[in-house]
């Protein structure tokens, strides 16, 4: 969704989004990645589990049968007819010639007609895909417009913000809100799900927070009111984890409220400290309450926020990046700026899951007292 990219990735975009699709490597590796994506989108978890227990020859046949059946059933009725007609005509032969005794004899080949019918169905499906892609690109442009164009400059703080959707649009929210009393609020939220639905809900969450910020006396009250607003709307299966930070220019501390998000990490001179998880995620409970924590920082100490797209990134074998690897990357260098740490984390995550496609949106917020 937003923000600032650094290094080589920054040069790939004019805005604050990364254009990387999360896939790289050799052509065979990319083909395997595409096939895995096809399996995940066309076959249910139950079917994939059943396939894993079958011997290879049976697994291969049944897998392709299920994929072709799912493809056929996802076509519109008209396109199903065209596809079936194309398959039948591709194998049809006939003859049409006069015979002295028996009269006319048919002779010919309709393979070209059948292939053109199949090609026509593929073109119709491609047209739908291009239309959907165009709409998603428009949605991505709107997401860019809703986000700050660059990292905020706050006296006494270094700030590094990063987000990269798994698809064209995503459900992670990274935002910076100027406050009336010259302070700033920085928040990181993760809406359940991904793709267009999550992106629309993310925009609603952002609008709700920005509307309520001036009306609330405390950060804990803000999250309580946001939760109440989301519950009143009664959106099905809508919930979001969020960390809301308030900081003042030149201050040695920041105020934090956590709503079910992965605990923030404080990188101190003596090691790593993990804060509490706080209250429940927004939208889950009607009467949820939230507590504000004050984080005191010495010069050079860092606060790191991340979405589970980092720790739950998977490699081709299905292993997770995990919190242990996250801590190892953080501790790899004793002294680093937010930008350096952020780049190292993103690179480590990409290297870990390469050549697989990212399964979830990835976002980071890194603050350092200077």
Instruction: Tell me the per-residue pLDDT of 141-174, one tens digit each, with 9 for 90 and over.
Output: 776 766 765 678 888 899 999 988 888 788 899 9
The total number of structural domains that make up the chain: 2
Hunting for tokens 């899951």 — which residue is that?
A: 353
| Cβ-based neighbours of 83, under 8 Å, separated by 6 or more | 72, 75, 117, 118, 121
Are 173 and 203 in contact, with CB atoms under 8 Å apart? no
What percentage of the chain has pLDDT greater than the value 90?
A: 42
Confidence band, pLDDT 50/70/90 cuts, at residue 106: low
Helix, strand, or coil (residue 45): helix
Q: Are residues 155 and 99 in the same domain?
A: no
Query: pLDDT at residue 16 above 50?
Result: no
Query: pLDDT at residue 221 above 90?
Result: yes
| Cβ-based neighbours of 343, under 8 Å, separated by 6 or more | 6, 7
Separation in Å, CA 120 to CA 84, 131, 258: 12, 17, 53
Q: Are residues 99 and 157 in the same domain?
A: no
Mean per-residue pLDDT, 45-71? 89
Q: Are residues 201 and 92 in the same domain?
A: no
Helix, strand, or coil (residue 174): strand
Query: pLDDT at residue 6 above 50?
Result: no
User: Is residue 7 in a domain?
Assistant: no
Query: pLDDT at residue 212 above 90?
Result: yes
Where a domain ends, among 118, 141, 164?
141
Helix, strand, or coil (residue 114): helix
Confidence band, pLDDT 50/70/90 cuts, at residue 332: confident
Q: Are residues 196 and 345 in the same domain?
A: yes
Query: pLDDT at residue 325 above 70?
Result: yes
Are 312 and 360 in contact, with CB atoms under 8 Å apart? yes
Instruction: Tell me the per-residue pLDDT of 231-286, one tens digit each, with 9 for 90 and over.
Output: 888 777 789 999 999 998 888 899 999 999 999 999 988 789 988 778 999 998 88
User: Is residue 184 in a domain?
Assistant: yes
Q: Are residues 42 and 153 in the same domain?
A: no
Max CA-CA distance within the chain?
105
Structure tokens at 106: 């048919």
* Residue 67: count of CB within 10 angstroms of its CB: 16
Q: Are residues 270 and 239 in the same domain?
A: yes
Strands ordered across the beta sheet of 172-178: 172-178, 184-191, 240-247, 253-259, 292-296
Mean per-residue pLDDT, 178-188? 87
Are 340 and 301 in contact, with CB atoms under 8 Å apart? no
> How far apart are the C-alpha atoms of 292 and 254, rounded to whole Å?
10
> Can you give the pLDDT at residue 15?
35
Comparing 54 with 138, the larger pLDDT belongs to 54
Query: pLDDT at residue 60 above 60?
Result: yes
Q: Are residues 71 and 179 in the same domain?
A: no
Comparing 20 with 344, the larger pLDDT belongs to 344
Confidence band, pLDDT 50/70/90 cuts, at residue 297: very high
Q: Are residues 188 and 249 in the same domain?
A: yes
> Can you give the pLDDT at residue 17?
37
User: Is residue 6 in a domain?
Assistant: no
Comparing 108 with 245, the larger pLDDT belongs to 245
What percentage of the chain has pLDDT greater than the value 70?
A: 86
Are 149 and 357 in contact, with CB atoms under 8 Å apart? no
Q: Are residues 172 and 303 in the same domain?
A: yes
User: Is residue 339 in a domain?
Assistant: yes
Q: Are residues 175 and 248 in the same domain?
A: yes
> Can you give the pLDDT at residue 94?
67
User: Is residue 215 in a domain?
Assistant: yes
User: Is residue 1 in a domain?
Assistant: no
Where a domain ends, among 91, 125, 141?
141
> Can you give the pLDDT at residue 5?
35
> Can you give the pLDDT at residue 271?
85
Comparing 280 with 196, the larger pLDDT belongs to 280
> How far apart are the C-alpha atoms of 259 and 194, rounded to whole Å?
19
Tell me which residue of 136, 91, 155, 144 sits closest to 118, measured CA to CA: 91
Query: pLDDT at residue 62 above 80?
Result: yes
User: Is residue 107 in a domain?
Assistant: yes
CATH, residue 159: 3.60.40.10
User: Is residue 53 in a domain?
Assistant: yes
H/E element, 189:
strand 184-191
Query: pLDDT at residue 109 above 60?
Result: yes
Confidence band, pLDDT 50/70/90 cuts, at residue 180: confident
Q: Are residues 132 and 216 in the same domain?
A: no
Question: Domain containing 264: what range?
Answer: 147-369
Query: pLDDT at residue 18 above 50?
Result: no
Mean per-residue pLDDT, 42-54? 87
Where a domain ends, among 96, 113, 141?
141
Q: Are residues 26 and 87 in the same domain?
A: yes
Enter the pTM of the model.
Answer: 0.73
């Amino acid at each position: 969704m937003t923000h600032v990219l650094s290094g080589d990735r920054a040069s790939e975009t004019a805005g604050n989004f990364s254009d990387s699709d999360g896939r790289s490597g050799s052509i065979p590796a990319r083909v395997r990645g595409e096939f895995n994506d096809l399996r995940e989108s066309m076959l249910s978890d139950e079917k994939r589990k059943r396939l894993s227990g079958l011997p290879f020859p049976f697994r291969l046949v049944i897998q392709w049968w299920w994929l072709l059946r799912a493809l056929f059933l996802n076509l519109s009725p008209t396109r199903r007819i065209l596809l079936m007609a194309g398959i039948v005509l591709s194998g049809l032969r006939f003859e049409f010639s006069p015979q002295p005794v028996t009269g006319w004899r048919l002779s010919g080949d309709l393979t070209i007609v059948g292939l053109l019918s199949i090609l026509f169905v593929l073109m119709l499906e491609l047209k739908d895909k291009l239309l959907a892609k165009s709409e998603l690109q428009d949605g991505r442009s709107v997401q860019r417009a809703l986000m700050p164009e660059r990292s905020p400059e706050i006296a006494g703080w270094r700030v590094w913000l990063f987000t990269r959707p798994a698809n064209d649009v995503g459900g992670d929210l990274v935002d910076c809100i100027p406050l009336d009393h010259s302070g700033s609020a920085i928040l990181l939220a993760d809406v359940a799900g991904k793709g267009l639905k999550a992106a629309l809900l993310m925009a609603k969450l952002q609008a709700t927070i920005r509307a309520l910020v001036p009306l609330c006396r405390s950060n804990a009250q803000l999250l309580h009111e946001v939760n109440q607003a989301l519950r009143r709307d009664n959106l099905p299966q809508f919930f979001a984890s969020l960390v809301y930070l308030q900081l003042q220019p030149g201050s040695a501390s920041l105020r934090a409220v956590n709503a079910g998000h992965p605990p923030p990490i404080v990188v101190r001179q003596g090691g790593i400290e993990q804060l509490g998880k706080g209250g429940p995620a927004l939208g889950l409970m009607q009467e949820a309450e939230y507590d504000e924590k004050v984080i005191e920082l010495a010069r050079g100490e860092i606060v790191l926020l991340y979405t589970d797209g980092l720790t739950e990134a998977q490699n081709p074998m299905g292993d997770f990046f995990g919190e242990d690897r996250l801590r190892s990357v953080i501790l790899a260098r004793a002294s680093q700026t937010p930008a350096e740490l952020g780049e190292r984390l993103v690179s480590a995550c990409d290297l870990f899951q390469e050549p697989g496609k990212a399964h979830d949106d990835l976002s980071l917020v890194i603050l350092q007292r200077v």
